[in-house]
Chains A and B, each alone.
Chain A
Amino acid sequence: DTGVSQNPRHKITKRGQNVTFRCDPISEHNRLYWYRQTLGQGPEFLTYFQNEAQLEKSRLLSDRFSAERPKGSFSTLEIQRTEQGDSAMYLCASSLDPRLEQFFGPGTRLTVL
């Protein structure tokens, strides 16, 4: 499968724990996006990378959230001191150009107990 992959697919954690998600984009795509999706909502933009540079972060991304994309390949999204409100589907997408389509991964479903 040469599409976008995300790991883990599901994560259950206790409030206050740290979690890290990984996204592997399509190899030639230099643009990478993270989104959060809650029930009944569309994907909400969290952050954007162009190669290894994080060029934009949403105000939704509190200081408990951090994302990296070392070497412009895979990306990680870490949430520290998780809260129940962080429970959501976290989506990753990659593209060659913002005017072209984004290719989405299957998502990581986070449940914070």
Chain B
Amino acid sequence: AQRVTQPEKLLSVFKGAPVELKCNYSYSGSPELFWYVQYSRQRLQLLLRHISRESIKGFTADLNKGETSFHLKKPFAQEEDSAMYYCALSPTSGTYKYIFGTGTRLKVLA
């Protein structure tokens, strides 16, 4: 079955510390993977997608097909990074069903 797992519900780090938000997926093919972010009182929005291999707001994510992971990383956390982060998978065949993980709340402490 297709699944996205985010094992941490809450991750607290101090400002300036490195951040890694974990995402593992289960999919038989080669999916499209995304990270979405929801800041307080704002709507869900795209942070980055693996096909563009870009860095947004200092965040990067590398797709590891061997480990079926797509962890989100940032070397130095900032207070404004505090938000809810969701990993998402878009299948590339057979279904249009987009699958989201349960999310990780990141708190960056001063």
List chain A positions with a Cβ less than 8 A from chain B.
Answer: 3, 33, 35, 40-45, 48, 50, 55-56, 58, 91, 93, 98-107
Q: Would A102 and B32 count as touching, CB distance under 8 A?
A: no
Q: Interface range on chain B: under 10, 10 to 19, 20 to 34, or 35 or more?
A: 20 to 34
Residues in chain B within 8 A of chain A (CB atoms): 4, 6, 9, 32, 34, 43-46, 49, 51, 86, 88, 90, 92, 95-103
Inter-chain contact B100/A43, CB cutoff 8 Å: yes
Q: Are B43 and A104 in contact (CB under 8 A)?
A: yes
* B103-A42 in contact (CB<8A): yes
Q: Report the minimal beta-carbon distance from A54 to chain B, rounded to whole angstroms.
A: 10
**Residue in B32, B43, B102 whose CB lies within 8 Å of A99:** B32
Q: Write the nearest CB–CB distance from B99 to chain A, whole angstroms.
A: 7
User: Knowing A99-B51, A99-B90 touch, does A48 contact B96 (C-beta < 8 A)?
Assistant: yes
